[in-house]
A and B are shown apart, each in its own frame.
Chain A
Amino acid sequence: GDSVTQMEGPVTLSEEAFLTINCTYTATGYPSLFWYVQYPGEGLQLLLKATKADDKGSNKGFEATYRKETTSFHLEKGSVQVSDSAVYFCALSERAAGNKLTFGGGTRVLVKP
């Protein structure tokens, strides 16, 4: 079955540092890939997505590139802010599975001033 593996946290950074969160996946078909972010006390929000190989998703300074050859979708941001402190989830979905999302375990990121 489909699965998503992402690096465990917590990840603690200073403001303006570079952030990378690794994500790899296994899937039977050709999935779409997503990064969701969850701020304290809130639901998950879509951060970015990519629907085919070599697509780059980007939003709010975050980027991730769909790498089919390495089955990866690593999240990066060049200069983090305190407001980026949150839990980040990598996920995949396959149309054949009716948009059912398979999530990674989440990575907590804490940015200190």
Chain B
Amino acid sequence: DAGVIQSPRHEVTEMGQEVTLRCKPISGHDYLFWYRQTMMRGLELLIYFNNNVPIDDSGMPEDRFSAKMPNASFSTLKIQPSEPRDSAVYFCASSLLGLGNQPQHFGDGTRLSIL
């Protein structure tokens, strides 16, 4: 079975440019999570969706960050304008709530470098 698919795997761009990260969750999963990982801050939850609806975006650092989930099989995380301090690895994860606590399944991440 296909896991969570993220694209691109690597992105290098200059500050001020718009960056769009993409995620395809596992089919049938009803929760989708976006994380950011840095050496300084570790793993931070940015936002999560349930059935395509944003539930908690309190982790989104600034208005420059936005996330959408137009349908059950696709989500984007956008940074506009980008800044060097946004450089990090961004992970997408999905899970199925089900009858009990189910684990989150992570993609391989997008390594973002803002010059």
Asked whether any CB of chain B lies closer than 8 Å to the CB of A98, the reply is: yes
Q: How far is the CA of A49 from the CA of B100 in the complex (A)?
A: 12
Q: Chain A, interface size: which category?
A: 20 to 34
Contact assessment for A103 and B42 in the assembled complex, using a CB-CB cutoff below 8 Å: yes
Residues of B within 8 A of A101 (CB): 33, 45, 104
User: Which residues from chain A contact B42 at a C-beta distance below 8 Å?
Assistant: 103, 105-106
Q: What is the total number of residues of chain B having a CB less than 8 Å from a CB of chain A?
A: 24
Q: How many A-B residue pairs have CB under 8 A?
A: 57
Provide the residues of chain B in CB contact with A93, threshold 8 Å: 101
Find chain B residues with CB under 8 A from A89 CB: 43
Q: What residues of chain A lie closer than 8 Å to B107, measured between beta carbons? A: 43
Segment among B14-22, B48-56, B62-70, B76-84 that sits at the interface with chain A:
B48-56
Among A94, A100, A105, chain B packs the most CB atoms within 10 A around the CB of A100
**A17 CA to B95 CA in the complex, in Å?**
34
Binary flags per residue of B1-17, CB closer than 8 Å to A gives 1, else 0: 00010000000000000
Q: Could you show 8 A-B contacts with beta carbons less than 8 Å apart?
A: A36-B106, A41-B108, A44-B104, A46-B104, A100-B45, A101-B33, A101-B45, A105-B42
Given contacts A93-B101, A100-B33, 12 further A-B contacts (CB under 8 A): A32-B100, A36-B106, A43-B4, A43-B108, A44-B104, A44-B106, A45-B106, A46-B104, A98-B97, A99-B97, A100-B48, A105-B42
